[in-house]
Amino acid sequence: MGRLFGTDGVRGVANRDLTAELALDLSVAAAHVLGEAGAFEGHRPVAVVGRDPRASGEFLEAAVVAGLASAGVDVWRLGVLPTPGVAYLTADLDADLGVMLSASHNPMPDNGVKFFARGGHKLADALEDAIESRLREPWQRPVGRGVGRVRERDDVAARYVGHVVSTLPHGLGGLDVVLDCANGAAYEMAPAAFERAGARVLTIHDRPDGLNINDGCGSTHLGDLSSAVVRERADVGFAFDGDADRCLAVDATGDAIDGDRLLAILALAMRDAGRLASGTVVSTVMSNVGFTRAMREAGIDVEQTAVGDRYVLEAMRAGGFSLGGEQSGHVIMSDHATTGDGLLTGLHVAARMAQTRTAIADLAGVVTPLPQVLVNVPGVDKSRALSHPDVNDAVSAAEAALGESGRVLLRPSGTEPLVRVMVEAATPSQAQNVADELARVVRKHLAF
């Protein structure tokens, strides 16, 4: 059996892979591990628990709350809230532990459990491994006054919205903005934040029913947002994913603006404001070569990590950097957040537009991306993706054929059962042909 924790918590199909029993056991084990690590020393522990609107989040929330309370942890139930909101409130409410129930951009049947330590930081790998090793162990259960108490808070939305708006260097007056909330956790808070900052807002996919999260909408499906921006003659559109920890954009003509270019806009804004620590931005190996070239031409250093916002965060914390992110739209502004925050991203990009009176297309134009193709290959043994000799030979041959005009990246997904093949090349057709051939080799040699 592989490691239970992936790059972003424990995920799987709810009620099949991620059951109520597993969610309860994870919560109990987390309480024990963090307690023994000294996180609760000298006081009665407190946890906050939030979720996105998935139907399965309702029973998983109940299981997590039951597990924590049975282990002697007092619990604040936060209800439906973006993942970065849970991280923020873990710190703001001085909680010892935060728990978010979400599978982010994944389809509705999936769900996940993500833990935050005191201060709203993701758990280190060693703590996750310890939690996994302690599942279902015998333990002494508290009784009487020793059991945790469960309460709800009704001020969490106002706290989180107030926080993200308070970070803006400039108001959004004069901007017309369309927001695609993915029928997810940001359906109320995103429009509230943009309106409070001064923008005129139209919201789409803002009626979650527990079943429609990420369904043909949000940051993984920009078609509806593009159409709405053009139809409404808006200045910009922002799309969040189900838990609003990522954000992508479209310009006034409906063209997509990916995470690389949003990161570039923010890097230049922070450099100009003297807030880009060490003149460095952190990105992953998935970032387009055009992004790294643009940053270096602007005098900004780029530090690259493995794919996954946890690795971006680790590099930022180790180097004391203030900005990092992924092409997928996870952007971390460590002056204001401990994790990727889609609302912060969109608000600060919009503030740069308003402050400079410049269209987002022009701001994003600093990056000239190489044509890039990403092919997902499901139904294969991703554990052997980087070790099979025939696959490695195919990658080497592709790299030799591309030379300095492109690159190849093959990696197993950390959150889904598939292998990702990414190719950058001089032309779109060359990138597609190389990616398709590599995907064929992966299917041939790694198929179950």
Residues annotated as catalytic are: 104
Cα distances from 75 to residues 48, 101, 146, 359, in angstroms, run: 6, 15, 13, 45
CA distance 408 to 373: 10
Alpha-carbon Rg of the chain, whole angstroms?
Answer: 22
**Residue 151: strand pairing partners:** 76
**Start-end of H helices in 175-232:** 189-196, 223-232
Please give the helix or strand (H or E) that residue 226 lies within, else none.
helix 223-232
**Residue 284: strand pairing partners:** 305
Do the beta carbons of residue 186 and residue 342 sit within 8 Å?
Answer: yes
Q: What are the φ/ψ torsions at residue 272 (nearest 5 degrees)?
A: -65, -30
**Cβ-based neighbours of 440, under 8 Å, separated by 6 or more:** none
Q: What are the φ/ψ torsions at residue 332 (nearest 5 degrees)?
A: -115, 120
Residue showing tokens 């996105």: 52
Burial class for 277, CB neighbours closer than 10 Å (0-12, 13-18, 19+): middle
Do the beta carbons of residue 371 and residue 427 sit within 8 Å?
Answer: yes
**Amino acid (one-letter) located at 95:** A
CA distance 391 to 9: 29
**Cβ-based neighbours of 42, under 8 Å, separated by 6 or more:** none
* Closest C-alpha among 162, 158, 235, 169 to residue 202: 235
**Amino acid (one-letter) located at 252:** A
**Residue 74: strand pairing partners:** 46
Cα distances from 149 to residues 36, 70, 73, 389, in angstroms, run: 21, 9, 7, 55
